[in-house]
Structure 1
Amino acid sequence: MSDLNKLPELTSDYELTKEQIQEFQEKGHIKLSQVASSEEVGVYRSIIGEKVKELNYHNKPIEERDTYGKAFIQVSNIWEKSAEIQRFVFARRFAKIAAELLGVDGVRIYHDQALFKEPGGGITPWHQDQIYWPVDTDNFITMWMPLVPVSEEVGSMNFANGSHKFGYISKLAISDESQKTLSQYIEAKGLEVENYGALEAGDATWHYGWTLHSAPGNPTNTMREVMTVIYYADDAKVIEPDTNARKTDLQKWLPGLAPGDLAASKLNPILYKKNV
């Protein structure tokens, strides 16, 4: 185990402009450069990578998996498994950006996800994250940060500009069906699709829970190593789950809570509060 005191603190402020906040709220996504420095990311990358390797649940080669399985190695709430990774996931700097982009005073963590797309990994189909989340706020945001440089071939995610304004578009989980149906929706609505292309380690994209997004496959011979953290407004409440996916999420990420409760289980501490 590393000496926690020697790890980068990630507590300093990242200054956002009014224009950046407006851009995020209008388009539903934004790229911010060097949210963490290459030096800061480098320290945490090896710790996160080792834990992902340890917790990887895939036991079949890529070509034998379904579309979801081909998309990435996914390890959630990795912060619970490591005090060092918790320091990264709970970083005040990241949480403050989340609150300011959303325009709220405070944010809680919903959960984190390490999303490692293997060489030869497939696409991540079009979807909305928030179809999985039984919480009563539109103020959900995901930080998506590569831990390694990502080439133009792989790129960032694809975002459908303004799609968050349509709210709950479809209950389709990530699948071939969601790829087909939501591609047709984007075309029918005439929504512009944007990809930020190559990213440096420590750059980050941010998107609303309702923003339609997908990701290209990985045609390179290197792993696309990404860490994500999902945040939401700290005053949000639990709603009655309307799908099995939301029932599962309620039990897993909001344990012990019921509809109407403040969405504040032991797994959802406040990570940033203005003036505190």
Structure 2
Amino acid sequence: MRDSINQEDIDFYNEYGFVRIHSLLTPEETERLRMHQYNALEQRGKFRYPDRDILGEDNPVYERMFLQRLNLWRDYEPIREFTLSPRIAKIAAELAGVDAMRLWHDAAFIKKGWANPTSWHFDAAYWSFNSPGGITVWVALTDARPDNGGLYFMPGSHREIDFCLPIFSNDHVAGLFDLPGYQHWREREAVSLPLKAGDCTFHSGLTLHGSGINMTPHQRAAWVCAYMPDGSVYNGKPNVLPDDYVKNLSVGDYLRNNDFNPVVYRKS
């Protein structure tokens, strides 16, 4: 498993809001994570969260885009080898320019054969904290290409987007671009980053991204992990936080519960 990047990677990330890292995982690690995720999904079933009765099938629009199950690490111990890996979190911290990262959540993202595109969006709009250092790693567990639902990014969007949650229609891939303040993105060129299994991208929580249709009969599998800089505070959006925790939070409280958001890397 890689645990280092170079200054060129950091400069690219700062400029464009994303970066591709080849061979984050070895082939053996990639296969192990793929099997852990498969087993975790079998155990989880239709529940999107480990501690809430929210079924994925309750929102068929999203289910036609991808199968998403969050916080697998909380109810499937073997996957914690990757979710709590300080080596991956170290890269995230170096790209984001922070000294310590807490786990925000992990997730499985499976785009089934012939699945719909994933609408343009940005992760930070949904998170419970507002920090420019929030970052997501997206690890390909199968090859990801433009024809099977690989990711697209809008370069430099992280420097123009704020943390407000936009409400837009998911009935077409560019629903976000119907909104005032986002319409100019229709004229911008997106970038596709094909990935081999074991490769990954890191992207800022403020970077616009989406994915195309899976035009194959085979699923495109990915594992995602989002990180929150240590010292972040609650913004009032519950997101993935458990209900019992949220009811005792006030806006401005530090998010430092080690049971839900443990520190996974701290610079020594």
What's the TM-score bracket when you normalise by the shorter of the two chains?
Answer: 0.7 to 0.9
Q: Structure 1 residues 249, 151: CA separation in 2 closer, same or farther (over 3 Å shift)?
A: closer
Letter in 2 for 1:204: C
Where structure 2 has 5 or more consecutive residues not aligned to the other structure, the ranges are 48-57
Q: Which residue of 1 aligns with 2:211?
A: 215
Is 2:268 aligned against 1:271? no
Q: Which residue of 2 aligns with 1:159?
A: 153
Is 2:91 aligned against 1:97? yes
Q: Which residue of 1 aligns with 2:117?
A: 123
Q: Whole-Å Cα distance in 1 between the matches of residues 169 and 6 of structure 2?
A: 34
Q: Which residue of 1 aligns with 2:55?
A: none
Equivalent residue in structure 1 for 2:19, among 3, 26, 30: 30
User: How high is the TM-score relative to the length of structure 2?
Assistant: 0.85
CA displacement at 1:65 relative to structure 2 = 7.0
CA displacement at 1:170 relative to structure 2 = 5.3
**% same residue:** 28
Q: Structure 1 residues 155, 66: CA separation in 2 closer, same or farther (over 3 Å shift)?
A: closer
Is 2:45 aligned against 1:51? no
Equivalent residue in structure 2 for 1:238, among 234, 242, 245: 234
- The CA RMSD over aligned residues, in Å, is 2.5
Contact 1:158 1:215 in 2 (8 A): yes
Letter in 1 for 2:4: E
Q: Whole-Å Cα distance in 2 between the matches of residues 141 and 232 of structure 1?
A: 7
User: How high is the TM-score relative to the length of structure 1?
Assistant: 0.83
Q: Structure 1 residues 135, 254: CA separation in 2 closer, same or farther (over 3 Å shift)?
A: farther
Q: Structure 1 residues 23, 250: CA separation in 2 closer, same or farther (over 3 Å shift)?
A: same
Q: Which residue of 1 aligns with 2:174?
A: 179
CA displacement at 1:55 relative to structure 2 = 2.3
Q: Which residue of 2 aligns with 1:192?
A: 189
Q: Which residue of 1 aligns with 2:53?
A: none
- For structure 1, which segment, 45-54 or 156-165, has the greater mean C-alpha deviation from structure 2 after superposition? 45-54
CA displacement at 1:54 relative to structure 2 = 3.3
Q: Whole-Å Cα distance in 1 between the matches of residues 218 and 177 of structure 2?
A: 29
Q: Whole-Å Cα distance in 1 between the matches of residues 72 and 242 of structure 2?
A: 17
Where structure 1 has 5 or more consecutive residues not aligned to the other structure, the ranges are 1-9, 59-63
Q: Structure 1 residues 268, 147: CA separation in 2 closer, same or farther (over 3 Å shift)?
A: same
CA displacement at 1:254 relative to structure 2 = 5.9
**Structure with greater proportional helix content:** 1
Contact 1:155 1:196 in 2 (8 A): no
Letter in 2 for 1:193: A
The superposition leaves residues 178-206 of structure 1 with CA deviations (integer Å, 9 ceiling, x where unpaired) of: 72332783645743310112x21110011
SS of the aligned residue for 2:174 comes to: helix
Q: Structure 1 residues 79, 95: CA separation in 2 closer, same or farther (over 3 Å shift)?
A: same
CA displacement at 1:153 relative to structure 2 = 1.4
SS of the aligned residue for 1:230 comes to: strand
The superposition leaves residues 235-276 of structure 1 with CA deviations (integer Å, 9 ceiling, x where unpaired) of: 11112x2xxxx245455596443222211122100000001x
Q: Whole-Å Cα distance in 2 between the matches of residues 248 and 234 of structure 1?
A: 18
Contact 2:134 2:204 in 1 (8 A): yes
Contact 1:72 1:115 in 2 (8 A): yes
Letter in 2 for 1:124: T
